[in-house]
Amino acid sequence: MSPRAILVLNAGSSTIKVAVFEDGREVARAGADAVPDHGAALGTVMAALAGQGYGLNRFAAAAHRVVHGGPDLSETARITSDLRAQIVACIPLAPLHNPHHLEVIDRIALAAPDLPQFASFDTAFHASIPEVAVRYALPDVVETQGLRRYGFHGISYAALVEALPQQTGQPLPRRLLAFHLGNGASICAIKDGRSVATTMGYSPNAGLTMGTRSGDMDPAAVLELARRMGVDAAESLLTHASGLLGLSGESFDMRALEASDTPGAHWAIRHFCYWAARHAGSMIAAMGGVDAIAFTGGIGENARDIRNDILLKLAWAGDVPVHIVPAQEEAFIAREASNLMEGPDFAA
């Protein structure tokens, strides 16, 4: 029997998660957290899959989540030497992620040279955002090239656009306010099925209060922090020690904060909900109104009180349907790879 399974790999800044799909269904999963060496961790994860009966010879393809595709990589594509070079060129835009994606891609290629590999990009769904919404108010000089809003969580939003009509049995709402709330959090304004605005920008640090990321800050405050601490220490603080963790002094995990009675936990939750609702107002303005709201991600799906607080703050927008859509990023990546393999341009 020829292999049919698709291996989906998600190499984060300090994690590796893999899932196996056959005929559109997830059949196996493995992962590793707090990874100091992605190469070694991949070996451990793949050994765990092999123990479930899924060695590399079982796969028809490997499909990867790649955080940053820059302005040009706007759809899922087969990984070639040219595409790999484009992912390399985006390393300055995602230094905590793209190098790990590349390491995993290269190790899979070394272990199984004939296995087709595909990449889906977290920035791709936002390629439809108009220029007025992506350009910063900077002069057009050499030093500012590439400094623009890109947006992230695009795979999650693309999967949501597919899943919501199947879930409701109704057409996709014309103006959909979509919340992806988890350790990373963002909002997307989806009009006629296309992204027209999103809260994340040049990096995933922009926008909402997140688990450990600061969200939006005055650039002068960021520059001052860099002067006081040095650039590397300031970057680490804003990325790894801010957000819910920094505000509460306890945890980045919303479940732990909701279970806590401390003033710090209450303050962090209040901040999270306030800024989610405030940024949502901006997204509604970008669409000229709102016809429905959808929540996805770990917090979006599971934290009812957080959802209700945000919705209460948005009561001014009117009574619109609210949907909870389970995150389906890995399944979406697998479908994208499968569709390309079945297309006329694919040659094994």
Instruction: Report, as residue numbers or ranges, the catalytic residues.
Output: 122
Tell me the C-alpha distance between 348 and 333, whole Å.
19
Q: Cβ of 47: how many Cβ atoms within 10 Å?
A: 11
3-state secondary structure of 52: coil
225-234: b or e for each residue (b if 16 or more CB lie within 10 Å)? bbeeeeeeeb
Burial (CB count within 10 angstroms: exposed 0-12, middle 13-18, buried 19+), residue 25:
exposed
- The DSSP result for 111-169, as a single string, is H-TTS-EEEEETTGGGGGS-HHHHB-S---SGGGTT-B-----HHHHHHHHHHHHHHHS
Whose CA is closest to 276, among 135, 173, 179? 179
Burial (CB count within 10 angstroms: exposed 0-12, middle 13-18, buried 19+), residue 3:
middle
Tell me the C-alpha distance between 217 and 167, whole Å.
37
Q: Cβ of 213: how many Cβ atoms within 10 Å?
A: 26
Task: Compute the residue count for the chain.
Answer: 348
